[in-house]
A and B are shown apart, each in its own frame.
Chain A
């Protein structure tokens, strides 16, 4: 009987994942990854409750349950990366980093060392012949977050939820009487939760006020409390009263200036060509040609021509795309296969 270690977060998805694997006859061990436990201002970290819920489900299923402590590594590899990127004026995606560095690396290695043959998670995605494929539920598909996982890791990974929709999962969890069947989904970056990235960053970086400047006229429109907190295309949180809404179209980290406009068609908001670095391919690098790409989680697939430029990649779009943000990832698909991607320069 193959041994599977399931990452159990205490949510409904990973609970059902464990239940399905038990039903499929695997020798299942539940593992709670302890990545973040700190409370943040205005938000109590729910880790202990989540751990208890994960363990409750493990007990319901009669499976072994362990806790893997990755707190130090998570801080180093995910949180520090995130803060560094913001400090460089970019908008990183920590969930992608967490999958790359923690779930499909540290967790996988620790599980294999502990005697597992496979790991499993509650991601909405599928693996076929070492290839990463989109989930049946197009609305929940999480391959965007998984594009930096290696092909080797995927050969050791099971995603039992890839063939189900979220409503299916809720229903199946209920039918099995799983303790977490009705538990609310967590939103956004796990540890930042509902407090928002701005409050989180304020814990680590000094708030230095600067000017908000009209990009076209060069006029100072108001003050902001730190360019680090603003991201391309953002409308809310700009303290400029009256008239049409302003959008962030750029920033200068050295000068601590944020540039805005009311012009929805501002050239900085729209890109017909996207340049990517830090390329990652799950298996082989794709040949130049036409592919589908996704510029953010759950955004629609768009066609793009892929051309290499040394170690960079250039994507040429038929129609300009709005707010393609430096630091974010663009993920490339060949039909339903996620082949990899890179980070917007």
Chain B
């Protein structure tokens, strides 16, 4: 977490610990601070404060977004498990993606049925960093709405996007994206865990997942997570302020590592869209390598990366994202997911590149001895 986020949150655990629903003056002050934080968040994403539902993270937001749909739901194959599993509780279609992980507008149009109510597509993928053509999708959905009206079909068609992964790197203005529902997560922007939000345009009627005291306009009961939401606001403000320069910086770091790794291993496979990829995401696969061994070797050198599969023995837990882009198991099992962020510098990136090259080489040598 960003130090400044922690500093902003601390008073709300201590001196200003009051329940914002309480009637006395110090609690009213807490309520005002909470509402001001929501106002600021809403302003930054181009919505209104009363269109926000604060949640315990993106998983809850996604569930809330999908829960309101009564009819058919379409989700992309590369969506986060929270989206896929929530969609499985509905009549749903899982939309294929291309080799870069992008949704095709044609395929989407064909998947839309007269009773389709919701399309949920993440702004950017958490594994391979592919950015979806969300504005084009939104434009197409507008056309379909017009067609539906002309045909006398009164079924609404909504677009939800989990934009958690894009915050700090992409524009998340709801009107510019053209979405009806948007999920965000504080933990993905150097804010606290277990704090998220769902923005829903005033036309959408959300159905609560929890029964209770009726907080958040009756949609999300439970005493407000005041410190968490204060932290969310601070984190969002901080990442938004430095977005443009940070994107360029991360892009430069990634490019430097990409060059080093591909020079050392010309056969390595890069995944994610070559143009439409998050600045901080590098996904690289070394065929036949056991990436988990490389992960363990790197962690002992202070370089922390993720892999494309869980335990080697844990059959069946290979990444569904890599499967969706058509990657073969022997390539997927040799995948490293490398992300860059605020703590990345050209110095530690160079060190990390060297460490990765050495450890991958060591693995290949061990395999061939």
Interface residues of A (CB under 8 A from B): 32, 34, 48, 51-52, 55-56, 58-60, 62, 64-65, 67, 69, 179
Known: A34-B313, A55-B296, A59-B293. 14 other contacts (CB 8 A): A32-B313, A48-B310, A48-B311, A52-B296, A52-B311, A55-B311, A56-B300, A58-B293, A59-B297, A60-B296, A62-B366, A67-B312, A67-B313, A179-B300
In the complex the two chains form, is B292's CB within 8 Å of A62's CB? Answer: no
A179 CB contacts on chain B under 8 angstroms: 300
Docked Cα-Cα span, A65 to B293, in Å, equals 9
**Distance in Å: Cβ of B362 to nearest Cβ of chain A:** 7
Q: Which residue of B lies closest to A32 (CB)?
A: B313
Please name 27 pairs of A and B residues whose Cβ atoms are closer than 8 Å in the assembled complex, sorted by A: A32-B313, A34-B313, A48-B310, A48-B311, A48-B314, A51-B311, A51-B313, A52-B292, A52-B296, A52-B311, A55-B292, A55-B293, A55-B296, A55-B311, A55-B312, A56-B300, A58-B293, A59-B293, A59-B297, A60-B296, A62-B362, A62-B366, A64-B366, A65-B293, A67-B312, A69-B313, A179-B300
The 10 closest A-B pairs by CB, nearest first: A67-B313, A59-B296, A56-B296, A59-B293, A59-B297, A48-B311, A51-B311, A51-B313, A34-B313, A52-B311
Docked Cα-Cα span, A48 to B300, in Å, equals 19
Q: Which residue of B lies closest to A65 (CB)?
A: B293
Docked Cα-Cα span, A32 to B313, in Å, equals 10
| Total A-B Cβ pairs within 8 A | 31
The proximity string for B residues 286-311 relative to A, scoring 1 for CB distances below 8 Å and 0 otherwise, is: 00000011001100100000000011
Docked Cα-Cα span, A64 to B312, in Å, equals 13
Q: Which residue of B lies closest to A68 (CB)?
A: B313
**Distance in Å: Cβ of A173 to nearest Cβ of chain B:** 15
Instruction: Select the residue from A32, A48, A52, A59 with max chain B CB neighbours within 10 A.
Output: A59
A62 CB contacts on chain B under 8 angstroms: 362, 366
Docked Cα-Cα span, A179 to B296, in Å, equals 10
B312 CB contacts on chain A under 8 angstroms: 55, 67
A60 CB contacts on chain B under 8 angstroms: 296, 300
Docked Cα-Cα span, A34 to B362, in Å, equals 27
The total of chain B residues at the interface (CB under 8 A) is 12
The proximity string for B residues 354-369 relative to A, scoring 1 for CB distances below 8 Å and 0 otherwise, is: 0000000010001000
Q: Which residue of A lies closest to B295 (CB)?
A: A59
Interface residues of B in 51-91 (CB under 8 A from A): none
B314 CB contacts on chain A under 8 angstroms: 48
B292 CB contacts on chain A under 8 angstroms: 52, 55
Q: Which residue of B lies closest to A179 (CB)?
A: B300
Q: Which residue of A lies closest to B299 (CB)?
A: A56
A48 CB contacts on chain B under 8 angstroms: 310-311, 314
A34 CB contacts on chain B under 8 angstroms: 313
Instruction: Select the residue from A34, A58, A62 with max chain B CB neighbours within 10 A.
Output: A62
Docked Cα-Cα span, A65 to B290, in Å, equals 10
**Distance in Å: Cβ of A231 to nearest Cβ of chain B:** 35
**Distance in Å: Cβ of B300 to nearest Cβ of chain A:** 7
Instruction: Select the residue from B296, B310, B312 with max chain A CB neighbours within 10 A.
Output: B296
Q: Which residue of A lies closest to B317 (CB)?
A: A48
B293 CB contacts on chain A under 8 angstroms: 55, 58-59, 65
B311 CB contacts on chain A under 8 angstroms: 48, 51-52, 55
Instruction: Select the residue from B292, B300, B311, B313 with max chain A CB neighbours within 10 A.
Output: B313
Q: Which residue of A lies closest to B297 (CB)?
A: A59
B297 CB contacts on chain A under 8 angstroms: 59
Docked Cα-Cα span, A197 to B314, in Å, equals 27
Q: Which residue of A lies closest to B294 (CB)?
A: A59
B300 CB contacts on chain A under 8 angstroms: 56, 60, 179
A52 CB contacts on chain B under 8 angstroms: 292, 296, 311
**Distance in Å: Cβ of A95 to nearest Cβ of chain B:** 23
B296 CB contacts on chain A under 8 angstroms: 52, 55-56, 59-60
**Distance in Å: Cβ of B292 to nearest Cβ of chain A:** 7
Docked Cα-Cα span, A219 to B261, in Å, equals 80
Q: Which residue of B lies closest to A59 (CB)?
A: B296
The proximity string for B residues 204-231 relative to A, scoring 1 for CB distances below 8 Å and 0 otherwise, is: 0000000000000000000000000000
Docked Cα-Cα span, A203 to B161, in Å, equals 44
**Distance in Å: Cβ of B316 to nearest Cβ of chain A:** 13
Docked Cα-Cα span, A203 to B220, in Å, equals 38
**Distance in Å: Cβ of A25 to nearest Cβ of chain B:** 15
B366 CB contacts on chain A under 8 angstroms: 62, 64
Interface residues of B in 146-174 (CB under 8 A from A): none
Docked Cα-Cα span, A58 to B297, in Å, equals 10
Interface residues of B in 327-369 (CB under 8 A from A): 362, 366
Docked Cα-Cα span, A60 to B366, in Å, equals 13
**Distance in Å: Cβ of A156 to nearest Cβ of chain B:** 24
Docked Cα-Cα span, A34 to B311, in Å, equals 12
B362 CB contacts on chain A under 8 angstroms: 62
Interface residues of B in 70-126 (CB under 8 A from A): none
Q: Which residue of A lies closest to B300 (CB)?
A: A60
